[in-house]
Structures are given as structure tokens and as C-alpha cells.
Amino acid sequence: MANTKISEIANGIALGENRFTESQVLDEAAKAGEVVTATATGVALTLGVDGIFLGVVKEHEEFDLDTDITLGKEVDIVTEGYCAVFVCDILDTKYPGTLLYTHYDTPGSLRLTANATAAAKLLRTIHSGDTVAIVKLLR
């Protein structure tokens, strides 16, 4: 069965030793585990065509792990370390060490298709249909 929620693979987003950018305002609703980029006013899911990202939205104390965090809320962003994230386009089994990338046409998720510098690498095996994974952010 495919893992489609962060709560199915972890009890939170930050796993182990991490670095954070604190108190970033969400420019749009986002779930914990989604990939974001910095904007003039906070953070957003939409990435530029260069694929540069700030990090991964950390869970918020007012919201369930699998629920959208409301636009305008302040969130912490995991910028380095190990975390649970959303992924897309997983069509077969992928193993630890597989590189994942950001892409402007898959906002909020990492994907297998290379378009720039790798953003993360898998720490655990994922299977076809999975939309969440445990990764190490590459900085």
C-alpha cells in the first residue's frame, strides 16, 4: 500500500539534527513536509524555473500533521538535515541514496527528474505510488 501522508512514515517533519529558518509567513496554505521557496513577504510553494528552494515546512502546533496550515501563519522551515517530505512521480521502487530535485511544475514536492542541483537524497526505500519520503536535505 502506498504511503501518502507524512503521519504514515514519521511523527513529525524534522528527524534528527537539523537547522531551521524560524518564523516565516506562509504566502499560501501549505502542509508540513512541503517544499517552499522564499518570497518578498514570506514563503510559498511555487518555485522559480531555477528550482532553488529554501527548505521544508515544519509541523505547526495548531494543525494536525496532515492538514494544510493556513495562509498567513508563521512556520519554521527545515533548511538542513533529515526530514519527511512530499514526493511525486514515483513509478517504481527507489532506494536509499537516490537523488531528488525540486521542479517548478510540481510545487511543494520533490521529484526524480533532474533539472538543477539535487535538493535531497532518499534515506529509506520508497515504492510506486508513494507521495511521502524520508530524506536528507543536501546543502
Q: What is the pLDDT of residues 92-107, one digit of tens each?
A: 999 999 999 988 788 8
Q: 91: number of CA atoms within 13 Å, CB side?
A: 3
HSE at residue 39, side-chain half, CA atoms within 13 A, is 13
Q: Which domain holds residue 24?
A: 6-137
Mean per-residue pLDDT for 114-128?
90
Residue 45 inside a domain? The answer is: yes
pLDDT tens column, 38-62 = 888 889 997 765 546 789 999 999 9
Check which CATH number belongs to the domain holding 28 and give it.
2.40.300.10
Read off the pLDDT band of 67 (50, 70, 90): very high
> Which pLDDT value is given to residue 80?
95
Give a yes or no: residue 1 inside a domain.
no
The answer to the question of residue 68 being in a domain is: yes
Does 48 map to a domain? yes
| Residue 23 covered by a domain | yes
Q: Where are the beta strands (DSSP E) in 35-138?
A: 35-38, 43-44, 55-57, 74-88, 99-100, 110-111, 120-122, 132-137
Mean pLDDT for the chain?
91
Phi then psi dihedrals of residue 6, to 5 deg:
-60, -40
What pLDDT score does 25 carry?
95
Higher-confidence residue of 10 and 116: namely: 10
How many domains does the chain divide into? 1
Check residue 12 and report its DSSP letter: S
- Answer yes or no: is 38 within a domain: yes
